[in-house]
Amino acid sequence: MPRDAVMDALQVRPEIARTAHDHVGAVMRGGSVAESTKALCAAMVSAINDCRPSIVEYRRRAAELGVDAETLNALWDYGRSERFEPAQRAALAAAVALTREPRALPPAVRAQLEQHFDEGEIAEILCAIGLVNYLNRVSNALGTQIAR
């Protein structure tokens, strides 16, 4: 999660910052979906939303979780790149679909998720995507800067 940028901005309302921090922890670090997969989804969502502080932070987090630089640099080509496992491709397709069109998950994308994840894991992935979209939009609206 963007450890400084958006959370620092939200400190003007400590109860919001605290619950946002707790929710990010539960969604991004909890569950059974690999944290690295969720970090890749978060980086993709942040890139689509052009939320620069989050792009930097989620790419950093993915690297901490073992994702190499070549894989991070191939993120835009996830559908064709051999650097991504089929389950990661399905999760990334959901990240792209829901960020570009938040009203519905296309049936083909849902089918891809169902091939690799159970219902709980699908909920986990969708919550991660939704949460990062929310935080990106707040961060962009507040004009947060990349933390140094």
42: Cβ contacts below 8 Å, ≥ 6 apart: 28, 54, 58, 61, 95, 128, 132
Rounded to an integer, what distance in angstroms lies between the CA atom of residue 7 and that of residue 134? Answer: 13
Chain segment 32-84, per-residue pLDDT in tens: 999 999 999 999 999 999 999 999 999 999 999 999 999 999 999 999 999 99
**CATH topology for 5-142?**
AhpD-like (1.20.1290)
36: Cβ contacts below 8 Å, ≥ 6 apart: 62, 65, 66, 67
pLDDT of residue 96: 98
pLDDT exceeds 60 at position 20: yes
Rounded to an integer, what distance in angstroms lies between the CA atom of residue 1 and that of residue 28? Answer: 8
* In the chain, where the domains are located: 5-142
pLDDT exceeds 60 at position 1: no
Q: From residue 131, give the alpha-carbon distance in Å to each of 74, 77, 85.
A: 23, 23, 23
Q: From the centroid of its chain, how far is CA 124?
A: 11
Q: From residue 109, give the alpha-carbon distance in Å to each of 60, 76, 91, 94.
A: 27, 17, 9, 6
Q: How confident is the model at residue 138 (pLDDT cuts 50, 70, 90)?
A: very high
Q: What is the mean pLDDT of residues 133-141?
A: 94
The pTM assigned to this predicted structure is: 0.93
